[in-house]
Chains A and B, each alone.
Chain A
Amino acid sequence: MNLTLEYLKTNRKWLAPNLIVWGDADACSARLLMTETGTPHRVVFAADDISGLNQTILYSDLVDVNGNALPDQIANPIIIIIPRNQIHCFLIGRPSSNGFKIGKNESGANYNCDGLVDILIMEVDLP
């Protein structure tokens, strides 16, 4: 087997343009001390996460710059976000073979604005 040829054949790339990012990365972690009143009172610790808005992108939902649909599965994907406006966008967690989660960071004058990005996806599956 020609490893280099196989690498080049499998090392596919797609550029998916103009993805609007509305996912909310502002999930808040609550760590609370509380009293449960009674006789005696109970001092309790509670923890929970308040989720933001999840934006999960499936590869099958995307089209590349040539208008071609992306495959359903991409092995060992690497994703590079190319910002197209001033909203800071980033991946939430690791991308899977089916898709990825993306979120935006709102602040100051950009509050309540969506992000706009191009997404470069690379498949780096080595034989």
Chain B
Amino acid sequence: MFKHMLKLLDTSSAAIPTGVSPQRKLFRLKTGPYADRLVCLYNKSSSNLSFTWADPPYTNWLEPVALITDSADYPVGACIDSAGNIYVIYAQQTTLNLKFIRLAFYAGGWVTGSPVTVLNTGLAYYPVIARNNDGHLWCGYAHYDNVKEEFAIRVKSSTDSGQTWGSGPTDIGTILSAESSEMPYICLNFIGNDLYAVYSEVRSNLYFRKYASGGPGWISAVLLLAGDYIDSEFDCAVSSDMKLGIAICPSPAGRVYFREYDGVNLSGLIEAASVSGRAPQLTYKVNKPYIFFAEDIGNGYFIPRCAYRDGESFESVALIRGIGYFDSVLLYDSVSQTYDDKTEEAGSADSADVFHSSTAGLLLSQNDCVYLGMNEKFYCLATVLSTAGSGGTVVWEYFNGKAWESFVPQSGGYNFSELNQLVYFWQDLESAPAEWQINSVNSIANFWIRVRVTDAFTVAPVGSRLLAIPRTDHLALAREGS
């Protein structure tokens, strides 16, 4: 079993650093002396695309390298081949022309090729790229026609490793979708050498079209789902028995859906999880689909989860240990010297229910404490308060095996004076102190963080939720080359 981990790679000022669901950003080398190496691309800033890589166990990542410095502030698309070469497609800053660049894998590193202009007519958004077994490249993108003032999904191909696309940069590509004033999104997948384009249209309809190798061209669109606000919240993958799977998170539905196409028949719409989700990522292990997504638990916080098929139905599990609801939340009143167990209230969405029964506050007097406990180390605290505290100060402490040791959270001090605050104790799970140990508080053994009042509050904060959950979004699952 692999050790679970969560590691901060970088910070970013870009709008969507790790891309939307149909785009690919993280890749695994399958074979050779660098097998299992992971390489990732992300938008570092509004113009800079960077990449970095690591070998197992993925604790040491290369200092990020700037790959592109003239990118628009829209996420890029990429794919990898079996030799480790990476193909990147992106919209250029200001012009929103579509550009292509190839990273050749050589001697354990990547050599950046020269950019090629794929499209210089109209504006291109949210590009994706795929490569078939013969080395043919296809790209898809939302194309904006300046004259009609409408978007449409278009595709172009290259048979010379990306040096020329279609009939040239002025060729705006083959249109697949209807034209609309709303932004469409596309995902491309090959099954053998047949290309499947799955795309959303007018925000609320999801279709696929197939381009059979050697066939008559694109088949007519097949409706996959008519649902409100699908936008980019879908992903596709291919099973080893050559089925096309589609995972969808329509934002208002409160459901994660799954469908499968076997080349002839389309399965019914299957409910993979009965929760509101976003950023779905789909993969198959043998023929079993696994859908990774971020579950919306309210207040702007999201838990990474996985839904996987188990027999006829789907099971859903939380994904990263150290992210989730606390196993124990105890409030200690130093005057009455009593603990109140508020574990359930701290996880629930009910308002103003996390307070000590003696003080009607989360914290009040000197040496009052909030104890936050999990059976795994954790790295953050999301606080949602109904009443912000004032006048008081707290110290943050963990148990180092001998005594409570104070620390300043990595995100800075916080005295429960803001209604909605995400506190990072450490940079990430990997940075949690090695000497942080399980100890017993009120006869409950956990990894505990103690928040202790050093100066009494004049207005006691009252809590609604206390969670070990960050604002997760834009998942990008590791993909392999073919």
Q: Which residues between 37 and 56 of chain A lie within 8 Å of chain B, taking CB atoms?
A: 37-38, 40-51
A34 touches B11 (CB 8 A): no
CB of A43 within 8 A of CB of B8, answer yes
Q: Which of A26, A46, A108 contacts B288 (CB 8 A)?
A: A26
Instruction: Let me know if B250 is at the binding interface, CB within 8 A.
Output: no
B28: contacting residue among A31, A50, A107, CB under 8 A: A31
Please tell me which stretch of B385-393, B444-452, B457-465, B474-482 contacts chain A, meaning at least 4 of its Cβ atoms lie within 8 angstroms of it. Answer: B474-482
Chain B residues with a Cβ closer than 8 Å to the other chain, count: 57
Q: How far is the CA of A112 from the CA of B304 in the complex (A)?
A: 27
**A3 interfacial by beta-carbon distance below 8 Å:** no
The CA of A29 and the CA of B17, in the complex, are separated in Å by 23
Q: Does B80 contact A (CB under 8 A)?
A: no
Q: How far is the CA of A34 from the CA of B304 in the complex (A)?
A: 9
Cross-chain contact A49 with B4 (CB below 8 angstroms)? yes
From B2, B6, B474, A35 is in contact (CB under 8 Å) with B474
Contact call B311/A30, Cβ cutoff below 8 A: no
A33 touches B18 (CB 8 A): yes
Given known A33-B40, A34-B474, A35-B473, contact A46–B1 (CB-CB < 8 A): no
Q: Are B40 and A45 in contact (CB under 8 A)?
A: yes
A1 within 8 A of B: no
In the assembled complex, the CB of B141 is this many whole angstroms from the nearest CB of chain A, namely: 21
- Give complex CA distance A105, B17 in Å: 37
A61 on the interface (CB 8 Å rule)?
A: no
B7-44 Cβ-contact flags toward A at 8 Å (1 or 0): 11111111011100000011010000000001010100
A43 touches B471 (CB 8 A): no
Contact between chains at A106 and B11 (CB < 8 Å) = no
B83, CB-defined interface residue at 8 Å: no
B285 touches A45 (CB 8 A): no
A44 cross-chain contacts in B, Cβ below 8 A: 6-9, 428
Contact B5 A37 (CB under 8 A): no
Contact of A106 among B281, B287, B472 (CB under 8 A): B287
Per-residue 0/1 for A45-83: is the Cβ within 8 Å of any B Cβ (1 yes, 0 no)? Answer: 111111100000000000000000000000000000000
The stretch that binds A, out of B88-96, B313-321, B354-362, B432-440, is B313-321
Query: With a CB–CB cut-off of 8 A, which chain B residues contact A41?
Result: 11-14, 17
Given contacts A26-B285, A26-B288, contact A31 B38 (CB under 8 A): yes
Task: Evaluate whether A46 and B473 lie within 8 angstroms (CB atoms) in the complex, with A34-B304, A106-B286 already known.
Answer: no
Interface residues of B in 87-139 (CB under 8 A from A): none
Residues of B contacting A35 in the complex (Cβ-Cβ under 8 angstroms): 12, 16-18, 472-474
Q: Looking at chain A's contact residues, is the secondary structure mostly helix, strand, loop, or mixed?
A: strand
Closest to B36 in A: A31
A36 to B429, CA, bound (A): 14
Q: With the chains together, A51 CA to B315 CA distance in Å?
A: 12
**A32-B477, A36-B472 as given contacts; A43 in contact with B290, CB under 8 Å:** no
Residue A5 lies at the interface, judged by CB distance under 8 Å to chain B: no
- Closest residue of chain A to B38 (Cβ to Cβ) is A31
Greatest chain B CB density within 10 A among A34, A41, A106 is at A34
Q: When the two chains form their complex, are residues A34 and B473 in contact, meaning their CB atoms are under 8 A apart?
A: yes
- Enumerate chain A residues within 8 angstroms of B1, measured Cβ to Cβ: 49, 51
Contacts of A40 in B (CB 8 A): 11-13
- Across the interface, name the chain B residue whose C-beta is closest to A25: B286
Residues of B within 8 A of A46 (CB): 5-7, 304, 319-320
Contact, CB under 8 Å: A107 / B18:
no
List B contacts of A29 (CB < 8 A): 2
A85 to chain B, nearest CB (A): 18
Minimal beta-carbon separation of A104 from chain B (angstroms): 11
B470 x A36 contact (CB < 8 A): yes
Interface residues of B in 288-308 (CB under 8 A from A): 288, 290, 292, 294, 304, 306, 308
Chain A to chain B: the 9 pairs with minimum beta-carbon distance, closest first: A31-B478, A33-B476, A35-B474, A40-B11, A33-B26, A28-B285, A48-B4, A37-B471, A36-B470
Ordered by A's residue number, 14 sampled pairs between the chains whose C-beta atoms are within 8 Å are A32-B26, A32-B319, A34-B473, A35-B472, A35-B473, A35-B474, A36-B472, A36-B473, A40-B11, A41-B11, A43-B10, A48-B319, A50-B317, A106-B286
Inter-chain pairs besides A28-B308, A47-B5, 5 sampled, C-beta below 8 Å: A30-B290, A33-B26, A34-B18, A44-B7, A107-B241
